Structure 1
Amino acid sequence: MEQPNIFTLQKDTSLLKKFSEIHNSIYANDGLSAQQALDEMLKVLFMKVFNRKLRKNWFWIDEKEYKECLDNNVSNDFTERTFELWEKSKKDFTDIFEPNEKIKLSLASLAFAVNKLQHIDFSDTTDAKGLAFQKFLASTEKADRGQFFTPEPVINFCVEFLQPKPHEKIIDPTCGSGGFLFSAYQYLSDNFQTSKQEIIPNLFGIDINKTIVKIAKMKLLLECNTNLNIVAQNSLEDLDELALSFGQQIENQMDIVLANPPFGTLGKITNEKLLRKYELGYKWQGENTNYFKTKTLHTGQTPEILFIERCLQLLKEGGRMAIVLPNGMFENPSLEYLRYFIKQKTKVLAVVNLPQETFIPFGTGVKTSILFLEKQTSQVLKTCEVSEPKVFFGRVTKLGYQGNKNGNPIYQKDEFGNLLKNKNKEPILEEDFSKIIQDYKQFQITNEIAIETENSFTFPVAELTGRFDFDYYAPQNRKLLNKLTSQNAVKLADLCEIVKIKSKKLSQANETVDYIELSDINTHSYEIINATSYLVHELPSRASYEVRENDILTAVAGNSIGTNKHATALATKDYEGSICTNGFRILRNCKVDLYYLLYYLRTEMFLKQVFMYRTGAAIPNISDYDLGRILVYLPEGKVLQEISEKVRYSFELRKQAKEEVEKIRIEF
């Protein structure tokens, strides 16, 4: 047959299917991994895109050539034409292909791919080719555990939250497969009468992984039919070098930054030259609202912390950013200097907490939140127009997809189990991103939310302390603290000694001691029910504190702290001299009746405060400082005495019950 005319190609409505067929064929027949198959498929797609620039169509195969490739794995004309096209394509995309890079496909697979794509017009402006490629990528990335995938609902939420405008410059310094840039492009196309030619020059992306950059470029090339400002570089490196890659200045030039930086998996940045480029590459000292940068470099700093500063460096004054971060960034006491740094440089617009299952379909269960900021100088912050500026807090509980490895969509149903549909007769996702957006837009206008809920509330910026996490400022927790304060509740540290000094017994290596773990507590009866004997040198490293009779042990670490399974116990004479784990703190020399305090440590008043103060994703814990400032409600003397007597009596009854059981003897 004759070669197809490149200017009379046709629109294809089954492009998603074709993408999948090509990828699956390569994967099945060429012995490549799913990722390698995707990489080779991208080479074919870039050849197809470049072919548009040529006066003569080189991207085609006729029936005779196709049969030769499939039957004999040889076709001289097709091979010569296609590999010449590949060499020319590499020269056009020098930023993503090496000069000596080869096509690793068998001739049969290459012919199959060209045959599938040759009649499709990639320049057609009405066809959602980028969307088809995005859907194809979603299934491919999920199958490969989604190493560079951010869930689409999270991406779209961040973009709509920041409400980009035409001609605003938008950058993603960890762009992955281009999800944020693609969403921003769609948002601007849908909400403004703005042409592709006006939008595309204002979209910028950086990623360290060349394969991922190829994906991002292809996704937007297919949708926009023009080249993109996306480069394969380390976005933490020198800003001048990055500017050269883009051919324009980027520092302090961006209106919007969207980012989901890598965290928790890549280790720390230890390169001194790189660390010196960042204020957060240095150690900070201080406390509360008075931190300062020292002259001492960190020996290693986590990438996500440096990315926060890099994002701020990219933003112009008044620029806005959304960044997905692990919850430790919002709450861990050791990172209070980081939150101080952020408050000095920005106006905190919002914090939106995501459920733990958000990233499970894509390979990780890390708890995350989204931080929304506006870059401002201290002077601008001081002259803010709003008399009492507030921070918006939101919590997503319904993602619109299952929090398992499949991540299948979840749709709204009526009381009879029938799918609810929108005006376009499409099923409606079960999600609450939309409601949070609606609440935020109202907040932008009025500085308030009409009805505060457990999922949306505001909090005065002036009262924002050293933490940014949702639970810490949740209305129900603030109401509890206010009520306790109004009732003249007393701090726990003012009521008793909190033991934090390790036992001297731990220096006697061959002494035998009884050791108490968190699991040795009966959480329902306030009792220690077991202790295990060890030689001191055999004890776990967490063995710490020596127990005395009438000590109260209460848990400060573990998933159960602040829940109804929180471990608290009274030490009896039987456990005098035992050693307990540092997962407990010992309360000693109490100024209030022991049995009342024991009771209080099981009430919602106490547990809610622990849950509010606790930090850490892998192993939640509460710091000694926060434990000490937990408020203890002390009722009037008579009520307190009655509670104490009842708790004491319950211990006496249990003791009597044990004694009665021990008296039982069976003669045999």
Structure 2
Amino acid sequence: MTTTGPPGRPTSTGQHFTPEPTAAFLWEQIRSVMPPVLPSGKRLRVVDPAAGEGALLRPLDGVQTDLAIGLEIDPVVAKRGRKVGVEVGDGLLDHQLRAASFDVAVANPPFGRASDLLTEDQWRQLGSRRGPSIWGEWSANSRRRFASRPLEQLFVECCLELVSVGGWLALILPDGLLANRRSQAARDWILQRARPAMIVALPSATFRRPGLHAMAHLVLLKRKTTDHGAPQGDRCWLVQRSSARLDLSSLMATISTDLQQARDGHKIEGISSIDPGRLRGSRWDAGYWQGQEQTHRWSPKIRDAPLGDFVEHLTYGPIVTGSKPTHVADGIVSIRQGDFTGTGLRLTQALRVAVHGDHDPQRSRVRCRDLLLPRSGAGALGRNRIGVYLLEEEANIGCFVDRIRLAGINPFYVWLFLRTQPGWGQIKAAFNGVGTPNINFEEIRSLRIPQLSPERQDHVEAAYKQRILPLHVEERADTTEQAVVEFSALIHELEQLLMGKRG
């Protein structure tokens, strides 16, 4: 959320205020890992260095604590949280918060680049620091080096400093910190100092309102006894549940109930656990790990290989700066994201562009049996829209479509496998970064494909052409619906075959 801060401060403070159901869920998870009674009658000491209106302290109202304090840099916002312990202050730099003096640190820190969110005075104070930081060693030119770093990383470091050894951190963090490759060093830095106990992908509705759509995870961490050691202790729970058509309060309540069932030993779809040590050098987002698990969903008797072993040529569509493609009646077909449907390509209304023009380079020409994959977009890649080109006439592709030419494997089999749960799970896990789904060449090549016999693969192609293609090309509402049903049935049959449940 954008707010107006004190004079000299950037107008954007990167705030995303926490909804009440999310705050309640956060505290349910903290209570699930902490002892019900603290030693020697001790009461909780809780801190929130990015308190906003005090949403994460409000669930403590009526709970016995020695201290519950929140700091908020915006005086107008802080005033609204005064009743739950919010004071005006800079949570990153305020010295009234004593290091290692709290049992629990909670925070939904501002998301964004440091250069957009920090004032001149804050940079000066940060520049006087000495020693290692989540961003690296501070020096005279730190501002230039760290200007593009995400500020939320510094708040994680702050929270780790505030809690005592064995204390807990419950942090709402943007997906980028957990998923982006450039944040790997920060994730490993955290892992040296804390043990992840739970990583929950928050529903997309959590921070969605006009002008705002931030995707985030709740991360529950326990500060370790020593820095730089291996992750210790119990497994880390990973939660990525489908955002069913429920309101946020109902969604969070459902996730909480399902988590408790999973802890009790029940298998719950969308909830799994891993050894925290596996997080080193890897992504942390729950969807990634659920996708990794999908590779174990076919029979151990079936060997697999990376798709890259069969890629003869992989390219993307033309990117022409300052030029939009225009329709040319007698031009060549340009296959774009909107031409993909759930059962294949539909090109009757496809754009045609000038032959050999800027939007028809030879390198991205499409031939019959090429596998085509939209490489971005919630409506295409995000819905697993893939297809095999069936026409003898050459075509080309738009800038957001990748052409994959395969050798030694049936492209129809690869297509349909990527629509199965193990295949789609891998694609979702490969989505790089946050926001609009994207997949790059390296991630495409890394997809693991179970190796069925050539005869089995050809059978998949024949089944598609006999059962689905005639319905797909009709383009009537009734046949389109029937094609979807048949396609789903064929995918299910392939899944059963891969799991050894079908001969």
- Pick closer, same or farther for the CA change 1:652–1:347 going to 2, 3 Å: closer
1:547–1:571: 8 Å Cα contact kept in structure 2?
no
Q: 2:80 aligns with which of 183, 203, 215?
A: 215
Aligned to 1:44: none
Q: 1:467 aligns with which of 278, 283, 303?
A: 283
Give the superposed CA RMSD.
4.6
Aligned to 2:378: 559
Distance 1:264 1:257 in 2: 21
Matched, 1:532 2:386: no
Q: 1:491: how far off?
A: 1.1
Deviations 1:504-536 (CA, angstroms, capped at 9, x unpaired)? 999999999854321133552345552332699
1:548–1:571: 8 Å Cα contact kept in structure 2?
no
Matched, 1:151 2:13: no
1:174–1:259: 8 Å Cα contact kept in structure 2?
yes
Distance 2:428 2:243 in 1: 22
Aligned to 1:499: 314
Distance 2:114 2:363 in 1: 36
1:362-441 equivalence runs, <5 A: 364-376=212-224, 381-382=229-230, 384=232, 386=233, 389-395=234-240, 402-403=247-248, 431-432=253-254, 434-435=256-257, 438-439=260-261
- Pick closer, same or farther for the CA change 1:313–1:365 going to 2, 3 Å: same
Aligned to 1:287: none
Distance 1:182 1:510 in 2: 54
Deviations 1:368-396 (CA, angstroms, capped at 9, x unpaired)? 22001112265684484x4xx31022356
Distance 1:481 1:316 in 2: 39
Distance 1:383 1:521 in 2: 44
Q: 1:500: how far off?
A: 4.1
1:481-496 equivalence runs, <5 A: 481-483=296-298, 486-496=301-311
Q: 1:269: how far off?
A: 4.2
Aligned to 1:458: 273
Matched, 1:174 2:50: yes
Q: 1:264: how far off?
A: 5.3
- State the secondary structure of the residue aligned to 2:451: coil
1:610-629 equivalence runs, <5 A: 610-629=427-446
- Pick closer, same or farther for the CA change 1:378–1:553 going to 2, 3 Å: farther
- Greater relative contact order structure (CA < 8 Å, 6+ sep): 2
Q: 1:279 aligns with which of 114, 133, 140?
A: 133
Q: 1:610: how far off?
A: 1.3
Deviations 1:212-269 (CA, angstroms, capped at 9, x unpaired)? 222222x13xxxxxxx5x4323323xx4xx11xx3xx523333211011122599734
Aligned to 2:12: none
- Pick closer, same or farther for the CA change 1:181–1:572 going to 2, 3 Å: same
Instruction: Please tell me the residue identity of whatever aligns with 1:516.
Output: I
Q: 1:311: how far off?
A: 1.8
- State the secondary structure of the residue aligned to 1:317: strand
Aligned to 1:354: 202
Q: 1:637: how far off?
A: 3.1
Deviations 1:258-299 (CA, angstroms, capped at 9, x unpaired)? 01112259973466546655734459xxxxxxxxxx998133
Aligned to 2:90: 234
Distance 1:518 1:477 in 2: 26
- Pick closer, same or farther for the CA change 1:362–1:602 going to 2, 3 Å: closer
Deviations 1:569-599 (CA, angstroms, capped at 9, x unpaired)? 32644334x3531x22221242223444344
Percentage identity across paired residues of the two chains: 18
Distance 1:630 1:383 in 2: 28
- State the secondary structure of the residue aligned to 1:468: coil
Aligned to 1:549: 367
2:215–2:435: 8 Å Cα contact kept in structure 1?
no
- Pick closer, same or farther for the CA change 1:625–1:378 going to 2, 3 Å: farther
- Pick closer, same or farther for the CA change 1:642–1:151 going to 2, 3 Å: closer
1:527–1:569: 8 Å Cα contact kept in structure 2?
no
1:545–1:580: 8 Å Cα contact kept in structure 2?
no
Q: 1:336: how far off?
A: 2.6
- State the secondary structure of the residue aligned to 1:179: coil
Q: 1:210: how far off?
A: 0.5
Deviations 1:351-383 (CA, angstroms, capped at 9, x unpaired)? 122211223479744232200111226568448
Distance 2:463 2:414 in 1: 13
Distance 2:389 2:447 in 1: 19
Distance 2:224 2:215 in 1: 28
1:399–1:431: 8 Å Cα contact kept in structure 2?
no
Q: 1:616: how far off?
A: 4.6
Aligned to 2:70: 205
Q: 1:519 aligns with which of 338, 341, 344?
A: 338
- State the secondary structure of the residue aligned to 2:58: helix
Provide TM-score, normalisation by structure 1: 0.56
1:562–1:607: 8 Å Cα contact kept in structure 2?
no
Instruction: Please tell me the residue identity of whatever aligns with 2:23.
Output: I
1:562–1:609: 8 Å Cα contact kept in structure 2?
no
Q: 1:484: how far off?
A: 5.9
- State the secondary structure of the residue aligned to 1:626: helix
Aligned residues: 440
1:153–1:399: 8 Å Cα contact kept in structure 2?
no
2:294–2:423: 8 Å Cα contact kept in structure 1?
no
- State the secondary structure of the residue aligned to 1:322: strand
Deviations 1:161-186 (CA, angstroms, capped at 9, x unpaired)? 22364444311011112232332353
Distance 1:153 1:655 in 2: 44
- Pick closer, same or farther for the CA change 1:589–1:204 going to 2, 3 Å: same
- State the secondary structure of the residue aligned to 2:81: helix
Q: 1:430: how far off?
A: 8.7
Q: Which has the larger radius of gyration?
A: 1
In structure 2, runs of 5+ residues without a counterpart are 8-14, 476-503
Aligned to 1:310: 158
1:78-93 equivalence runs, <5 A: none
- State the secondary structure of the residue aligned to 2:303: coil
- State the secondary structure of the residue aligned to 1:597: helix
Provide TM-score, normalisation by structure 2: 0.72
Distance 1:157 1:656 in 2: 48
Distance 1:641 1:538 in 2: 37
1:255–1:316: 8 Å Cα contact kept in structure 2?
yes
Instruction: Please tell me the residue identity of whatever aligns with 2:48.
Output: D
Distance 1:368 1:504 in 2: 31
Distance 2:451 2:98 in 1: 59
In structure 1, runs of 5+ residues without a counterpart are 1-34, 37-96, 99-146, 190-198, 221-227, 284-293, 404-408, 411-428, 444-448, 659-668
- State the secondary structure of the residue aligned to 1:432: helix
Aligned to 1:641: 458
